[in-house]
Structure 1
């Protein structure tokens, strides 16, 4: 992980060091090129396979000057290459959960809108403070406060309901983080009554399910759901049951290395369940804090009037997985027919997993009295080999152009284009976060993004 660049002197005696007196305790942050960071704040503690315990108020200053560690996970080399992340970035910690707060350095006369970032990664990968997920440009350009949350993953966070191990622990982690935001963000200049969740991929799926989770009412008012694989979020009980049989073999106190090795075997046991097996770990209906699957639609309808919604997808979502799969890459290189077959496959799976259910979700939301907007991201569409693939929104929202210099995803895109299009997209996201309203239709040209209000 990255480290804060602090002076060598004792920060406790430095009057220029930012300090926040919050219900959590006195938080000591650091300055970073126009923003204030309060990074690596512990918001909860955990015991393995147990719900999180909210961090109590601290009687001593909280030194928030280190990046949040990752949750334990297996490295995915293909995804690291696509996003330009080194294996050394994944310094992990078990037993503690962290978040980081970034806000503009200049004072504000009124409380700022708050945006809470939930990273994606199929519920098995990622962390809130990876350099490619840096929220500094968003906070600085748009005068908002951004909170990046790290939560438990994989076998530790998103499989349960067996051997007295609860399900949805990673979701409970996020709720604990939202409670921390609700309690403490006003003391850092934020508006706890104007909180927007935004998450991509599994992070978008999590944001959708937090809308109907027990204990979240009043903790956020808006949700931006990016490329959520809602088409494979239902009908997972049989797959989860088979995965649980394998997961039960690992003991509660097994070494972490063994647990992560078994996690790979658990994921492999999901094969045979079609597209759902592409994201074997995930939220589980009928386990706290989620309703049973048959009542989920009704729960989303009840939540609609309380939460403004902006959701969408990229034009060629599943192209990412085509590039990451050696077998599909070989198919793509088949003379005469390979490229056409792969394009057809991308179109079909993008619709089945992402587009169809995003439209259903947004229509249900408006029919139940909520405000909803849909978007389609076309940026890089048709560009070999990724095109407008899953995760192509991330370089436009997060990180600096330099953060993405090693990413295969945007190789060949010049920094000026990335910066210009990114600034316009960050402005759109923040405009929605401020009021929950956008023009009824609009677009970012040339061929970047189009959005429309759902009626």
Structure 2
């Protein structure tokens, strides 16, 4: 059954799901020529079809050996990718909380249409409006090359999406004054960037940062310049006119070169850049990201063994894992890098927010599938929050787990996220974050 709303630049025709939710796909929230900031969409006449997913940012294939596996349905890719999905219990005047999902993917992969990221369970169980935007990735979103690309375009796309939510949430039964932005990995790192920006003030009331790689900080001028040199050398032509396929080829080559021998240095070379609008310097970002702490409730946490998902199975690492002595050394390295890149900086950010008067809650998610080599690695909490059994059926990180277990634990986890989105408190008995207090353990 179809359902029609007036939002953005005109009327949109969505559809009603089997669960009775109203879903709108491929909704344009902005437009942008290559290497240009996003602009408002042109209004349209008639009723625009919003029953099919829109194109996603051009990107290389998802690694088949990763913890998540490969999405079942690979979406169309195109530079005209600034569209979003809305899932709502009803397009009425109820003024529900709105949850805006920023996907991860190391700033080079990801899409709102991946089955991994479906928000239907959250919308149905919590009576909330779920919104998931696409934004530019990789070189098209984060190349900083003076005279060609200003950098941080993906971040500007996220700002544009949040402004669209502010202006249009009510048409989908949402409350524009009750928005929670939540994201994982690069999506969570993006939220930390947004929290430093005066332009984002008032666009969200709450924020959930899942496994934010805050040890990454922002790329400085030297790092951004090196990435640009590697990229232009690999491309060999003008980035402004090069075919998308050539952009992606040069992007992959840049990532490989930046990762070093064995690919062990996995810090994304295409990422938010300091001293490039709208971001300040690294030092100012570190201080200003908590400037509006009293205005934004925050839930922040990590998994217990983040780096398992990055290092397990890597050439060389797999050989070392065969022997008890070297396996213990590898485990210690994984734990140390987890603390350096994820746990330590997330805790420091929580401390900073609390010291500035923010209401902050922290957690560690510690669950592992019985036959998974990844343990409680990066992304392990996602199936408990988003997607469904079909989307996660072949995920290596869930090896040996019964979906009934994921369902039961996931219902509790979703209830905590939904409670936070509605009230600013995850659940009764969950203490507020305080320095030297251990994070709340989940599940």
TM-score for both structures, normalised by structure 1: 0.89
What do the CA deviations read for 1:68-123 (whole angstroms, capped 9, x no partner)? Answer: 322100113235x5323248514211123110000124x77731000000000000
Q: 1:386 aligns with which of 374, 384, 394?
A: 374
Query: Counterparts in 2 of 1:51-70, with a 5 A limit?
Result: 51-70=37-56
Aligned to 2:358, which of 370, 375, 378? 370
Q: 1:121 to 1:175 in 2, by over 3 A?
A: same
- Show the counterpart of 1:278: 267
Map of 1:196 onto structure 2: 180
Q: In the alignment, which residue of structure 1 is the partner of 2:153?
A: 169
Contact 1:44 1:176 in 2 (8 A): yes
Q: Which residue of 1 aligns with 2:318?
A: 329
1:91 aligns with 2:76: yes
Q: 1:253 aligns with which of 219, 241, 251?
A: 241
Query: Could you say what secondary structure the match of 1:82 adopts?
Result: coil
Aligned runs of 1:398-413 on 2, under 5 Å? 398-413=386-401
Equivalenced residue count is 429
Deviations 1:239-278 (A, max 9, x none): 2211111333441110111111111222234346998652
For the 8 Å contact 1:75–1:87, the answer to whether it is kept is: no
Q: Secondary structure at the match of 1:156?
A: helix
**What is the CA–CA distance in structure 2 between the aligned matches of 1:84 and 1:147, rounded to whole Å?**
24
**1:306 Cα deviation from its structure 2 partner:** 1.4
Provide the residue aligned with 1:7 in structure 2: none
The answer to whether the 8 Å contact 2:101/2:132 transfers is yes
Q: Any residues of structure 2 matched to 1:152-231 within 5 Å, and which? A: 152-231=136-215
Structure 2 residue corresponding to 1:82, chosen from 50, 64, 67: 67
Helix, strand or coil: the match of 1:302? coil
Structure 2 residue 416 is the aligned partner of structure 1 residue 428 = yes
Q: Deviations over 1:372-415 (max 9, x none)?
A: 11010001188641100000011111111221111111021101
Contact 2:64-2:70 within 8 A present in 1 as well: no
Which residue matches 1:447?
none
SS of the equivalent of 2:199 reads coil
CA contact (8 A) 2:126 2:415 kept: yes
Segment drifting more, 110-119 vs 209-218: 209-218
Q: Distance in 1 between matches of 2:417 and 2:130?
A: 12
Deviation at 1:230, TM superposition (A): 0.4
Structure 1: any 5+ residue segments left out of the alignment?
A: 1-15, 444-449
CA contact (8 A) 1:133 1:399 kept: yes
* Contact 1:84–1:405 (CA under 8 A) maintained in structure 2: no
**TM-score, structure 2 as length reference:** 0.91
- Matched residue, 1:138: 122
Give the distance between the partners of 1:392 and 1:71, measured in 2 at CA: 24
User: Which residue is 2:435 aligned to?
Assistant: none
Could you tell me how far apart the structure 2 residues matched to 1:48 and 1:108 are?
A: 37
Deviation, structure 1 residue 138? 1.1
- Residues 1:73 and 2:62 are matched in the alignment: no
Matched, 1:291 2:280: yes
What's the RMSD between the two structures over aligned residues?
Answer: 2.3
Cα displacement string for residues 217-251 of structure 1 (whole angstroms, at most 9, x for unaligned residues): 11111110000100122464322211111333441
Q: Is the 8 A contact 1:115 1:145 kept in 2?
A: yes
Report deviation, 1:21.
2.2
Partner of 2:434: none
Residue 105 of structure 2 corresponds to 121
**1:331 Cα offset (Å):** 1.7
In the alignment, the residues of structure 1 paired with residue 118 and residue 71 of structure 2 have an alpha-carbon distance, to the nearest angstrom, of 15
Contact 1:113–1:433 (CA under 8 A) maintained in structure 2? yes
SS of the residue corresponding to residue 30 of structure 2 reads strand
Work out whether 1:347 is the aligned partner of 2:331.
no
- Which residue of the partner structure matches residue 24 of structure 1? 9
Are 2:318 and 1:318 aligned?
A: no
Describe the shift of the 1:153–1:234 C-alpha distance in structure 2 as closer, same or farther (beyond 3 A): closer
Asked whether the equivalents of residues 214 and 290 of structure 1 are also in contact (C-alpha less than 8 Å), the reply is no
The unaligned stretches of length 5 or more in structure 2 are: 432-437
Q: Is the 8 A contact 1:250 1:259 kept in 2?
A: no
Please give the alpha-carbon distance, in whole angstroms, between the structure 2 residues aligned to 1:346 and 1:399: 28
Contact (CA 8 Å) 2:75, 2:113: kept in 1 or not? no
